[in-house]
Structure 1
């Protein structure tokens, strides 16, 4: 139940309360006025009785005392009615106070339940977001690993292709001597063709690979590194040889 409904229902229950309270207070004032009037009459009769105590006959005295006693009894009835009416008025107001306390307790319980449910929903939403984030990160890692593997495979394939090209070029050089590298350098370079060596040209003639696995160039033309035949053992390019000497 919303706050507006609680307030509306409570105000509906209070609709007749002012009228009932006004009626009870009016009756209590009336009873009090009657009791006060009787007490004045009793005081006057008591004074007359005391003044004429020696003059009146016993029957007259008894009659006056009985009348005074009846007036006292009537005043007591008015007082009892007034007290009873005051108790009813108190209980009437107390009933509405108890209802207000009950509605407030229920309203606070509902607010706490809503806050708890909202907190749980927020936690579930955060957990779901974290789960989706972890899943995305896992997928990214898988894609990254797959891309790295593919890149490594591509590098291996290119290296094999280079070696095959170098072997083929070597066979050609053996049958036609060294060829004419100057003629090759004058030829236009295809932008999609990979370049090698210190001259940054495409593969041609016989080539040799540097035995340093971290060599940035890898393959070199025989003529560019001053070779006419393939040397025995491991061979390092001029740059890698200089770096090894520094170490």
Structure 2
């Protein structure tokens, strides 16, 4: 193991005992404590920044980010997912519009060319920290009285059930790596071109009616995907 890797692992051990938002000692002091050059220390910290373990604030120092939120590959709403972790879910509506949509979204929602859809952009929060940007598209005929305020700090799935008696029965979701653009960076409070995860999901009701198409950008420094695997011949893999 190189000295750089050893320093990285020592910092990871240290971060295990630190709270999210807690500051590491100044670079000069930390280099002396670990017995390495500041160049070696800086390289190790750069890797921790890239993997989302710490955040560097220019002029302030380096701060622990805490463990990433992991999402299992199973159907779950953002609200239910955050509550299961003991976090307070939130949603801030950034834009709301109703009108015709492009061919790609029409095909997902099985809409005719001039059918309207509600198009909502929301900032999803966990304990008031920005986690994801969500673009939600819903057939207008499904929830004709949907308004921007309805989705402020509210689960869309809960609203569907309470207002329409609709339960989301199945979803198809894709996940791919991406980087955030300038507007996404500003909304998520991260640097431009930070790594992120792009989720696209189409969901259907029990009677096979499309109820949503969602495009979400999750912060790569705060989110990861978890899968549970089993050996062939034992339990079915997740």
Q: Where on the TM-score scale, by shorter chain, does this alignment land: which range?
A: under 0.3
In terms of fraction of residues, the more strand-rich structure is: 2
- Relative to its length, the structure with more helix (as a share) is 1
Q: What TM-score, normalized by structure 1, do the two folds share?
A: 0.20
TM-score, length basis structure 2? 0.21
When Rg is computed on C-alpha atoms for both structures, the one with the higher figure is 1
Name which structure has the greater RCO, CA cutoff 8 Å, separation 6+: 2
